[in-house]
């Protein structure tokens, strides 16, 4: 499930990865045309909302920004050892691939975001997230440079006094 956003993240519609066997193969996961993702995943509306809410919560909890992809399983009450519907998180990929076949583009398309717009949004979110840090960093560098200049002037003055 992809997520986009900084302070107010939005989970994209989930996908379901289909496999030819019991386990999704490396080829199915990474080779173009070898695997298939169903987007959106065929879930009941309540389950769909639970997946998105859970993924958004995890995204915020670990401090993600910009975008990510969380791999997870949805378990029905009958499948779950807790006897309640639940989302089992496998991994959070904070820098997922953005190849043409990636499920993120398909998920974004489900909410009418074109691939170029999705990339532009990721860039914009990065600039928003990191621009304040760069400003503070630049101010700190300027402050340090001013201190060094003052020290140099002090040394020059001291040297001039000695000569």
Q: Which residues, at least 6 apart from 62, have a Cβ–Cβ distance to it below 8 Å?
A: 92
> Is residue 162 assigned to a domain?
no
Look at residue 145 in the predicted model and tell me its pLDDT. Answer: 57
Q: Which residues, at least 6 apart from 141, have a Cβ–Cβ distance to it below 8 Å?
A: none
> Is residue 94 assigned to a domain?
yes
Whole-Å CA distances, 2 to 21, 39, 121, 123, 137: 24, 11, 13, 16, 31
Domain that holds residue 110: 2-135
Local structure of 73: helix, strand or coil: strand
Tokens of 138: 């630049």
Distance CA 3, CA 146 (A): 42
DSSP class of residue 12 equals P
- If one counts the domains in the chain, the total is 1
> Is residue 75 assigned to a domain?
yes
Nearest residue to 4 via CA among 48, 74, 52, 47: 52
CATH number, residue 112: 3.30.470.20
Look at residue 157 in the predicted model and tell me its pLDDT. Answer: 38
Check: CB of residue 126 under 8 Å from CB of residue 66.
yes
> Is residue 78 assigned to a domain?
yes
Look at residue 75 in the predicted model and tell me its pLDDT. Answer: 96
- Per-residue pLDDT 10s for the chain (163 aa) are 999 999 999 999 999 988 888 888 878 777 777 778 889 999 999 999 999 999 999 999 999 999 999 999 999 999 999 999 999 999 999 999 888 778 999 999 999 999 999 999 999 999 999 886 665 566 666 665 555 555 444 444 343 443 3
> Is residue 87 assigned to a domain?
yes
Look at residue 107 in the predicted model and tell me its pLDDT. Answer: 96
Check: CB of residue 131 under 8 Å from CB of residue 25.
no
Look at residue 28 in the predicted model and tell me its pLDDT. Answer: 77
Distance CA 57, CA 11 (A): 10
Look at residue 154 in the predicted model and tell me its pLDDT. Answer: 46
3-class SS string, 88-125: EEEEEECCCCCCCCCHHHHHHHHCCCCHHHHHHHHHHH
Look at residue 148 in the predicted model and tell me its pLDDT. Answer: 53
> Is residue 65 assigned to a domain?
yes
Look at residue 133 in the predicted model and tell me its pLDDT. Answer: 63
> Is residue 113 assigned to a domain?
yes
> Is residue 156 assigned to a domain?
no
């Amino acid at each position: 499930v992809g997520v986009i956003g900084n302070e107010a993240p939005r989970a994209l519609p989930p996908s379901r990865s289909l496999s030819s066997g019991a386990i999704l193969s490396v080829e199915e996961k990474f080779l173009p045309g070898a695997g298939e993702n169903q987007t959106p995943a065929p879930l009941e509306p309540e389950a769909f909302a639970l997946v998105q809410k859970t993924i958004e919560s995890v995204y915020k909890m670990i401090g993600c920004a910009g975008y990510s992809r969380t791999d997870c399983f949805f378990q029905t009450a009958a499948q779950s050892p807790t006897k309640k519907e639940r989302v089992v998180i496998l991994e959070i990929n904070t820098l997922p691939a953005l190849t043409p076949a990636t499920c993120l583009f398909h998920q974004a398309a489900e909410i009418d975001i074109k691939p170029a717009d999705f990339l532009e949004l990721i860039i914009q979110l990065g600039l928003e997230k990191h621009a304040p840090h760069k400003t503070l960093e630049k101010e700190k560098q300027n402050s340090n440079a001013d201190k060094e200049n003052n020290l140099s002037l002090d040394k020059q003055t001291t040297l001039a006094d000695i000569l």
